[in-house]
Structure 1
Amino acid sequence: MRSGGSIAVVGGSIAGCAFASVAARAGADRVVVLERTGGRLADRGFGLCIHDDRAAELSAVGTLPPGIAAHPLTRRRWVVRDGDTAAGTLFWEQPFPFHSYHWGLLWQGLRGAMPDSVAYRQGAAVTAVTGAADRPELRLADGTSDHHDLVIGADGYRSVVREAVAAGSRPQYAGYVCWRGHFDARRMEGLGRGGPGTDVSPADAVTTVCFPGGSCVIYRIPGPGGTRVNWVLYAVPPQDGTLRFDDPTSFPAGHVTPGLAAGLSELLDREFPPYWGRLLALTPPEDTFVQPIYDLRTPRTAAGRVLLAGDAASVVRPHNTSGVAKALQDATAFGAAWRTAPSWDRLVSDYQAARGPAGHELVALARRLGHAQVEQTPDWAAMSPGRAESWWRDVLAGAPDIGGRPLGGG
């Protein structure tokens, strides 16, 4: 497509930064990013992972900038409480070719790689998108409005832009939550090795602690002040009539309710091997939060002159470890469509053809993973390496791995 045009990117986090960079480098005359948050996005400290193959692919095309701190992971260890050892029983170990990232450092790398021509506006909350078929109009909370040749909704799982593409599509609560936290890895030193002559938490390993009705993944991530330990625990929340999850929401760090905090503490005491329960208890309250799990399979990811990216396009449960890779792949596919499409309409339709099915596939796989690891967990204590491998193949149901497929779906 020829250069030119005005593009608005609604949402300035990872997906938004990636799309803005691709659009500016492709030759758009004007690119503006509208981020509703007025605070420091870099302060978001939670961890995430990208499959090594996806990272290599995204680095090769320039969507993942060089120099962003990442921690290498090579294996995933599955552990269950056995009552005899502090660290529990290791019943399976599988390859895990990923690197972990700190959300804030990754965002800083993407933000820093953005061309100077991009206008990045914080505190700019979009309230509606109208006229999607031709030069859509953005309406902002401050009463202003603006027209653009193309609008990209990168505004997350509570997307406002989604209504212009798939009216009435809303994320649905999956029936469970994840507690998340992170802390300075140096705090682990007082815990010991978890057993005679063993290191139960190797630096290159992800540990999955399994229990009836849930699981918890624990791994190291880079941080601004050194290595941190990041963990994500999935389980049904305690019964509390004051909690409602029918509307997409979360309990940010430092604002977890007393009932949820007590529920987490009881779960750790009841279900976790003592070593891992003590490890999670090292997390300061200000670095602990709760995220109800939602998902959404949108009927389309583009319509008229509006397209959706990242979590705005499809809400995928985190079990698939593919969220960031998908957002960056969305941006890459957008750039490819720009290079070959003769018109805006063709660009949007080519993007939909490339990324709509990919989002649907990820939602389906993550639902199977959530069912197997939270909703209908197996008898973890009866697992052996052979049984675990068979169980895992059944859950994947033909998918080659978690972490997303290559661009093009091959």
Structure 2
Amino acid sequence: MRGGRVAVVGGSITGCAFASAAVRAGAEEVVVLERTRGRLADRGVGLCVHDDRAAELAATGALPAGIAAHPLARRRWLVRDDAAGPAGRVFWEQPFPFHSYHWGLLWRGLREATPPSVRYRQGAAVAGVADAPGAAGGQAEVRLADGSVEPYDLVVGADGYRSVVREAVCPDHLPQYAGYVCWRGNLDAARLPAVTGTDPGTWPSDAVATVCFPGGSCVVYRIPGPDGLRVNWVLYATPPQVGCLPYDDPTSFPPGRVTEQLTAHLHEVLDRHFPPYWARVLGLTEPGDVHVQPLYDLAADRITAGRLLLAGDAASVVRPHTTSGAAKALQDASAFEAAWRAAGSWAGLVAAYGASRGAAGRELVALARRLGRAQVERTPAWAQMDGPAADTWWQAQLAGAPDIGGRAMTP
């Protein structure tokens, strides 16, 4: 099937991947509608992609070559143990075959790989969409914030966890607050010698550190940055219950706007539970590089309706514990392209995509919930664990899933 006019609502990682996939599959016209006027490259910090998923996505064309990535090989789980020294005690080390990315650099690589025929319209805020069979010039309509209405043959919702397109596909589905938040931060890795001294073995470059404490955990790893390596960290814990904003509506506290209470709670966790070395590493983060993200999840019963389909976080909101967000978005784009190439009609394309990706999103949401319960909501007695106990605990959370990072795509 060739031809057609496609709108992609949202111009971040998912949107760029879908725009490129639509052109490769044969769309005549592709328009990306991105509400932000500024630089998207300033959003986000670090993420990881499983090596197997990266190879698969490179083969489909969804992950362009040449994007900066940092190799990771192992994940060390550790607890504070003053007798073991300032870096704490490692009670388990597991393989971690991933590469880390900087969100902005990954987005930039995907944006630069978008075919020049794609019209990328910034400042185009979408107020609503509708499946409109028989509408002149197209079978779906996009209503912009300025009141104008544009017809398309297909509309892709790549507009994240607050998706406007999702409101049309499944209006009764809203992201649900998970009950805890994550503090995120990053810093220049060149500052690490102020903490590590002359011992390069304290934290090898290919190692992810997971600091475990009662009621939470923190993942720390290196990522490529625009000017060299950076340290990215994500700390999961329940926020203070008094004086904070309600989290029943998806929200976040961006850099520079984290409340004093949330900042004080972070420092309390570091002082009380972290090995001194890791508390000092996180303490190097500038206040303007820290933000707080309340966590939500959503597993939609359907991800398509008529000429509308959902992708990435718009289709399923997954807590970050699965380390699969970027890979899942790019897999969605690959499945979309494959469904298009095999379809003889728009209805066939939408049906094939929904059958391919709906269950994948719901599976990731379920896994992330299990991991969240185990690593934040109902943490085990970390200090009593050793390698075999930790491995048994981990396999129980996976519950048959081969690993985190997402599954291989079904051929």
Choose the corresponding residue for 1:179, options 159, 172, 183: 183
Q: Provide, for residues 119-176 of structure 1, a one-character-per-residue CA deviation record: whole Å limited to 9, x for no partner.
A: 0011111011123556111111122110100000000001010011111211000000
Partner of 1:81: 80
Q: What CA distance in whole angstroms lies between the structure 2 residues aligned with 1:19 and 1:86? A: 47
Q: Show the counterpart of 1:53.
A: 52
Choose from 150, 155, 162 the match for 1:158.
162
Q: Kindly state the Cα deviation for residue 242 of structure 1 after the two structures are TM-superposed.
A: 3.8
In structure 2, C-alpha distance between the alignment counterparts of 1:146 and 1:132, rounded to whole Å: 11
Amino acid at match of 1:325: A
Structure 1 stretches lacking a partner, 5+ long: none
How many pairs align? 406
| Structure-to-structure mapping, 1:136-155, within 5 angstroms | 136-155=140-159
Q: How does 1:187-198 map to 2 (within 5 A)?
A: 187-192=191-196
> What is the match of residue 391 of structure 2?
389
What SS does structure 2 have at the residue aligned with 1:158? coil
**1:354 counterpart residue number:** 356
Letter in 1 for 2:126: V
Q: Secondary structure at the match of 1:66?
A: coil
Question: Which residue does 1:103 correspond to in 2?
Answer: 103
What is aligned with 2:381?
379
1:308 corresponds to which residue? 310
Counterpart amino acid of residue 161 in structure 1? V
Superposed CA offset, 1:279-318 (max 9, x none): 1011111110000000001010111000000000000110
Alignment of 1:2-401 (within 5 A): 3-84=2-83, 85-133=85-133, 135-192=139-196, 199-401=201-403
Aligned AA for 2:29?
Answer: R
Distance 1:193 1:54 in 2: 36
Aligned with 1:367: secondary structure? helix
Is the Cα contact below 8 Å between 1:132 and 1:306 reproduced in 2? no
Partner deviation per Cα, 1:74-119 (whole Å, 9 max, x = no partner): 0000010112321111000000000000000000000000000000
Check whether the contact 2:244–2:261 (CA below 8 A) recurs between aligned residues: no
Distance 1:352 1:45 in 2: 28
Cα distance in structure 2, aligned partners of 1:162 and 1:54: 26
Equivalent residue letter for 1:69: A
SS at match of 1:94: strand
Note the C-alpha offset of 1:267: 0.8
Name the CA distance, whole Å, in 2 between partners of 1:37 and 1:102.
19
1:268–1:277 CA contact under 8 A, matched in 2: yes
Check the 8 A contact 2:131/2:308 in 1, yes or no: no
Please give the alpha-carbon distance, in whole angstroms, between the structure 1 residues aligned to 2:80 and 2:244. Answer: 32
| Percent identity over paired residues | 69
Contact 1:132–1:164 (CA<8 Å) still a contact in 2?
no
SS at match of 1:216: strand
Inter-partner Cα distance in structure 2 for 1:59 and 1:107? 15
Task: State the SS of the aligned residue for 2:143.
Answer: strand
Residue range with higher mean Cα deviation, 310-319 or 18-27: 18-27
Q: Give the Cα separation in 2 of the matches to 1:283 and 1:335.
A: 41
Contact (CA 8 Å) 1:128, 1:140: kept in 2 or not? Answer: yes
Task: Give the CA deviation at 1:44.
Answer: 2.3
Distance 1:115 1:198, change over 3 A: closer
Q: Name the CA distance, whole Å, in 1 between partners of 2:132 and 2:315.
A: 16
Alpha-carbon distance between aligned partners in 1 of 2:402 and 2:164, rounded to the nearest angstrom: 34
**What SS does the aligned partner of 1:181 have?**
strand
Deviation at 1:61, TM superposition (A): 1.2
Structure 2: any 5+ residue segments left out of the alignment?
none
Q: Quick check: 1:193–1:199 contact (8 Å CA) kept in 2?
A: no
Is the contact between residue 41 and residue 104 of structure 1 (CA under 8 Å) also seen in structure 2?
yes
Partners in 1 of 2:158 and 2:44 — Cα distance? 20
Q: Distance in 2 between matches of 1:142 and 1:318?
A: 35
TM-score (norm 2): 0.97
Which amino acid in 2 is paired with 1:9? V
Alpha-carbon distance between aligned partners in 2 of 1:133 and 1:259, rounded to the nearest angstrom: 51
Q: Quick one: structure 1 residues 224 and 328, their matched pair in 2 at CA, closer, same or farther if it must change by over 3 Å?
A: same
Indicate the SS of the match to 1:161: helix
Aligned-pair CA distance for 1:239: 2.1
Code of the residue aligned with 1:91 in structure 2: it is F
Q: Partners in 1 of 2:216 and 2:24 — Cα distance?
A: 44
Q: Calculate the TM-score normalised by the size of structure 1.
A: 0.97
CA contact (8 A) 1:128 1:139 kept: yes
Residues 215-264 of structure 1 show CA distances to partners (whole Å, capped at 9, x for unaligned) of 00000000001000000000000123341110001111111111111110
1:336 is paired with a residue of what secondary structure? helix
**Any conservation in 2 of the 1:179–1:234 contact (CA below 8 Å)?**
yes
Aligned-pair distance for 1:192?
2.1
Task: Tell me, in whole angstroms, the C-alpha distance in 1 between the residues paired with 2:22 and 2:131.
Answer: 21
Cα displacement (A) at 1:15:
0.3
Q: Which moved more, 1:235-244 or 1:25-34?
A: 235-244
Cα distance 1:363–1:274, how it changes in 2: closer, same or farther (>3 A)?
same
